Structure 1
Amino acid sequence: MTVKVGVIGTGSIGAEHVRRLAQQVSGAEVTAVFDVDRERAIEVGAPVGAAVHFAAHDVIDDPAVDAVLIASPGDLHAEQVLACLAAGKPVLCEKPLATTAESALKVVEAEAAHGRSLVRVGFMRRHDFGYRQVKAVLDGGGIGEPLLMHCVHRNASAPSWFTSEMSLTDSVVHEIDAARWLLGAEIVAATVVAVKSSPLAGGLRDPQIVILETAGGVVIEVESFVNCQYGYEVRCEVVGSTGTVSLDTPSTGAVTRSGGRTQPLPDDWRTRFGQAYLDELQAWVDGRPGGATAWDGYAATAVAEACLRSLATGARSTVALADAPTGSPQ
């Protein structure tokens, strides 16, 4: 059976998804696309034979579309996901599920009322081989009781329009979801610590240090450095009562010569997490369980909101999650 997918948003990540769905994901066909930049949509959709629509809702309502992938700007996600639910169509929404916890909760409630699990959120690290190895060790009790978690998220440079707030909502939000998933615990508080900014930060607060606390007392330290200059690097380590488990930069071949040793780093997220994106899409098209749910998207957005409050005030900010509605997948 072929799943006919409509894609909303054909920017950088949307175009990547169209390419993967058309060329690498078995059992998938891209049948419709939309982007506010119509020329861009035609450029991405025409080579795969997709219809190019004039509105996002036209993609959702298209009878030739079985499932929808949303890669539009974040402030449009909640409305578009709700439209997918109303149409009864499975949807994979790139993060964030919504830009406010209130909007994200409406999606959770709408899905629960619908009575079917239709929403996936694009936290692709849950499909990364290295992260899954860490998860298996933790779930198997391999390091005893988790006590601390250290996370690093570095980009070589950020675009001119990137803001200090986006370091939290676009970068740290991945660590938020990864920590919740790896530890199996909700985050109850966030503190953004003021540190000296890099002279190359261009007015951003960069790097940023974020301290997250789980309900069980585990402390998660996150470093977000979006102008590190040298490449793309994501790492984490969980310290347990009887050992540690870590995710390091995947080895791509080290070179030893002239009294030194060098190892290449990925240029950006496309290189580092390309396989994870592909595995995420394949699992979604196959209808396999797993991946981030609407609840996960809501919880991550709520924690990111707490981070924003702490950034603005300099104070610790608590996270108060609503009760999950009956029938909501956790």
Structure 2
Amino acid sequence: MSELLGVAVLGAGHMGADHIRRIDQVVSGARVAAVADPDADRAAEAVAGIDGVSVHAGTAAALDAPGVQAVLIASPGPAHEEALLAAFTRGLPVLCEKPLVPDAAGALRVVEAEVRLGRRLAQVGFMRRYDPEYRRLKSLLDGGRLGRPLMLHCTHRNVSSPPDFTSAMLVNSSVSHEIDAARWLLGQELTAVTVLRPRSSSHAPEGLVDPQFVLFETADGALVDVEVFVNSGFGYQVGCEAVCEAGTARIGDARAMVVTTAGAAQEEVAQDYLVRFADAYDREVQAWVDATRAGRVTGPGAWDGYAASAVAEAGVRSLESGGRVSVELAPRPGLYA
């Protein structure tokens, strides 16, 4: 492919607008060909100053717009299944922000649709797989220098939660990244989950169970714990420590700018994920564009999206019941072997 890859971006909100900027200003080999968002003013603002972009209210019109060769889905999760299936029908490669589909049944329908096509078209936006720190940890664990991994200790903290955030979303929205990262780092499926509820922070909105402590079990007997705290009040922090037979390795401690003034030193703390993982998002989208232009699909696929949704669904059941819940996955199709 010699010309720029024409991408339709579905959704022009916080994430979608950032991807529109990224494709236009950062990524090479691609251009924004169309944008779809029910909010016409928001869509127009997101593409202001970008030539040759058509703006649409609906998904189908954007996918059928002239010059569209691939799709980036950044719309709310409940809209993903319809958009994915529409892209599959048109044979368009897709980069879909997580979740693939919020519920496991819907995610499995996407997997089955892709299997019927006989080829992979979807990549899921688990951007941590493209973060330099996570990639170094993955390489270290795969190399075997530290022996078998026994435990992963993870933290996931946000400044504050959006107004419509629910207790279930701490698991199926926030912790979904740890679910995929753990599966990828350890090369194992997660088989059971237990969600514990410490007393909620006084800074959490009324009725929100925050923080939560999530414990995963893996197929090979490792344990993964996640402290998720979405109203920490001070910043966005993500960390992971691998405890192995012959040593440990920790990521997430990268030093930011330190400002010294007036008799005190203060270190900057990222305020959201678009700042902390800006480089990972850039690498992810560039890798997707390069693979798509070469006629390939790489990175986390529809099966990874389905597995994450199934584990998160089990986690929500544990949050509600207070007990341990087993994860039940459908048989893995050969397409994803």
Q: Out of 21, 24, 49, which is 1:22 matched to?
A: 24
**Structure 1 residue 256: deviation in Å?**
6.7
Identity across matched positions, percent? 51
Give the drift of 1:99.
1.3
On the 8 A contact 2:36/2:43 being kept in 1, the answer is yes
2:93 match: 90
2:320 to 308, 312, 316: 312
Select 2:229's aligned residue among 225, 250, 255: 225
Q: How far has the Cα of 1:262 moved from its partner?
A: 4.0
* Deviation digits for residues 219-262 of structure 1 (CA, Å, limit 9, x no counterpart): 00000000111111000001000001111232123457888754
Indicate the residue corresponding to 2:217 in structure 1. Answer: 213
Q: Which moved more, 1:79-88 or 1:301-310?
A: 79-88
Q: What is the distance in 2 between the residues matched to 1:159 and 1:200?
A: 13
Work out whether residues 127 and 291 of structure 1, in 8 Å CA contact, stay in contact via their aligned partners in 2.
no
Structure 1 partner of 2:5: 3
**Correspondence list, 1:180-329, <5 A:** 180-203=183-206, 204-254=208-258, 262-287=266-291, 290-326=298-334, 328-329=335-336
Provide the aligned C-alpha RMSD in A: 1.5
Query: C-alpha deviations, 1:169-217, integer Å up to 9, x for none?
Result: 1100000000000000000001001211101111211100000000111
Q: Deviations over 1:131-183 (max 9, x none)?
A: 00000000001210000110000001112211111111110000000000000
Q: Deviations over 1:249-301 (max 9, x none)?
A: 32123457888754221111111001100111000000165421100000000
Pairing partner for 1:146 from 129, 144, 149: 149
CA distance in 1, matches of 2:281, 2:99: 16
Could you tell me the TM-score, scaled by structure 2's length? 0.94
> Equivalences for 1:7-156 in 2 at 5 Å?
7-49=9-51, 50-156=53-159
| Distance in structure 2 (CA, Å) of the matches to 1:142 and 1:237 | 15
Deviations 1:27-83 (A, max 9, x none): 011010010101111121242121012311111222410000001110010111111
Q: For 1:158 and 1:40, how far apart are their aligned partners in 2? A: 22
8 A contact 2:122–2:297 mirrored in 1? no
TM-score computed with the length of structure 1 as normaliser: 0.96
Matched, 1:177 2:185: no
Secondary structure of residue in 1 paired with 2:137: helix
> Residues of 2 paired with 1:140 and 1:110: CA distance?
36
CA distance in 2, matches of 1:325, 1:268: 36
Paired residues of 1:32 and 1:45 also in contact (CA < 8 A): no
- Given the superposition, is the C-alpha separation of residues 289 and 239 from structure 1 closer, same or farther in structure 2, using an over 3 Å criterion? farther
List gaps (5 residues or longer) in structure 2: none
- Identify the range of structure 1 (287-296 vs 161-170) with the bigger mean alpha-carbon deviation: 287-296
Which structure 1 residue ranges, 5 or more long, are not aligned?
none
* Equivalent pairs, count: 329
- In structure 1, how many angstroms separate the alpha carbons of the residues matched to 2:297 and 2:266? 40
